[in-house]
Structure 1
Amino acid sequence: MLGACTQKRVAIACGGTGGHLFPGLAVACECARRNLGVTLLVSPKDVDQRAVRAALGLSGVSVVTLPAAAFQSGSRLAFIRGLARSYRVALTVFRDAPPAAVLAMGGFTSVAPVLAGRRACARVFLHESNVVPGRANRLIAWFADEAFLGFAEAAVQLGCRKKTVTGTPVRPEIVRRDPRECRIALGLDPEKPTVLVMGGSQGASAINDLVIALVQRFRSGFSGVQWIHLTGPSDIEKVQAIYAQAGVQFMATAFCDKMHLALGAATVAISRAGASALAELAAVQLPAILIPYPRAAGNHQLHNARAFERAGAAIVLEQYRTEPEFAAQLAEIARNIKVIIEDAGLRQKMQVALAGLHRPNAARDIADAITAAVLPNEQLRGECAVATSAAQSRHLSVVP
């Protein structure tokens, strides 16, 4: 009954960082719900390999690891070799399971699948989650049939003709939850205000250093607060030792497999400003102190953070550069944590602003657009079309 529909496949290139991977997984779930086959193309990095395990349980979803390498200063040769090898792997995969469409989520794993997809006559789509598009997406845009945008401001920097503001997809489990229940599930005190510290999927040593210094220096001021700290792999032992010495209640882990609980348990977050993290903060309406990564390409994290700051959804602090700035930033973070925890009115205003930034149908809208492009009209009207009772609440905008 659905045979013709299941013959259509979508390849989603989404590896390299959690910021590319998790939105790609959200779209993959929606495509699978529409009876499209999905090929996820990811990198060998540990964050990718851990996260895609959940996708392996989805019907019609396969995972391919590409031998890609990030484009960084001093590693251009490695990037070119990785690109060439990834292109050959993608060609082989696409010969065996030809995609009707390729969706590039940005990052270094996206380029080869798009080039291979074009050779396979697939439609090409991209998603740009940041205010400032990355190098890969700026290149891919010239091949793309349509770009989906997290922020409208990115439109002028992309060369494709059709650009649609969808927001950035979040995983379906990232929704507002009862904080007490989440804290109990994580083994924390259900009544204590909780600070969530996260530095992106790889962690952030600068934020780790700030927070453990904060815990040591202002220990008495945070006696009634507990901490959830996602450290990344490098600093986990150091961070755990400092919390234990300070005698505060905490949960510290290198990588969190239960982000829905960590976000749901928190009263306030200290975070980098990658677009995927911001989309998840908006989804759960979690007020945050944002410390953008200062060496992000095009300083895109600062631009993302400022967009949230202008909306009243977050407080932005630029990362310290000197020892005096480090000390001043400690005091500023301590003050802001205290204000957000104690001022219910401020928290509510920030939550209203975050709700206004949230695009709950982002993954659905992207999957619908791809489905409409690759399926014949009669199939769209038939069983492969998804009944969307939530369609009236969507806020899609096409950028000229």
Structure 2
Amino acid sequence: YPFEKTIQKPDVTLAEAIENIDIGGPSMIRSAAKNYESVTVVVDPIDYDSVLENMRENNGETTLKLREHLAIKAFIKTSDYDRTIGNYLNREQITEASFSLSLPLVTKLRYGENPHQQAALYGDFDRYFEKLHGKELSFNNILDISAATNLIGEFTQPTVAILKHTNPCGVGSDVDLREAWEKAFATDKQAPFGGIIVCNRPITEPLAKTISEIFSEVIIAPDFEGDARGLLQKKKNLRLIRLLTSATEARSAVDLRSVCGGLLAQDSDVSSETPEQIVTQRKPTKKELDAMLFGWRIVKHVKSNAIVYAAADRTLGIGAGQMSRVDSSRIAVWKAQEAGLSLKGSAVASDAFFPFPDGLIAAADAGATCAIQPGGSVRDNEVIAAADERKMAMIFTGVRHFRH
């Protein structure tokens, strides 16, 4: 029975799913596989040709080696089927008794995060991404591609983003993609060297000419216009990746992390709704609100502690991965100064609450006139008072976006 297809239907009921659990089919496959010494069991159409060729070479019979190989595939197939059923029922009944995962090998990688580590990619990566040109993807490339796709999925307007080590270096939005690139690149012109570029529109020739001037590892887009692709393919090592679905569809629903003694599983941080509770005396202007929401879409993709200064259509300064939130803010301000970008009238976004007023005061001193943060600190009143004293507008979202 087509259990996998059945549970993919948006309106499927539990009763309908259970009705489509096949019993006899898997039993016959398992019994055939158990007797592989005398039975050839084929569960994958991709094996038809090899079975026929094997029979031609052996007077109509198959070899024991092939039968053993096919039996292993059969047991894996029925195991995957049972696991799919178990995972579905576990999710529906909310028993959380166990967690199991079985994914097919996509490709073995040259090495992992570092050359001394072995690595491989499993799953259905090829369903979402197609490599059009360049060297084979590395472990780190794949991590960056995933991070870039998650980030660009936050935007519906034409947007270009640059990432390095999964952190955004700069993001810009504009109907003119070349202008969007200039806004993103202006944020930090040093970090993008060897980085990842992602765009949510097909790459045009003018954009390709501009971005080809710097060294990049990977460029990701829904497509590449003919002249643009030809231009970028002159760089033989540059990896061009076509995103085959929408960025939001490519996002994983579950976030898995390996830990000592087990595996952590959580829902992915894909909440797109941003509650807007204005907590200051002054309300934000339309321009400030747009800037705050722009920064908020980005800060959730920056390693904690994360601070982003933004305008309504671009990043101005990004501070990532510091143990102190104030230090992240200082780095973001320093980055903006190095880039020659003014923070006057900017919005500051923080992935978690300001535990003390000092972080907000530092942002105000840098030129920010509004702030967006989750709130929830025992000193929220002190932070709000500091904002009011400086006539800043501030929004509490009630949603934290830690990223470890």
TM-score band by shorter chain is under 0.3
TM-score normalised according to structure 2 size: 0.27
Higher-Rg member (1/2): 2
Bigger relative contact order, structure 1 or 2, given CA contacts below 8 A and separation 6+?
A: 1
Higher strand share: 2
TM-score normalised according to structure 1 size: 0.27
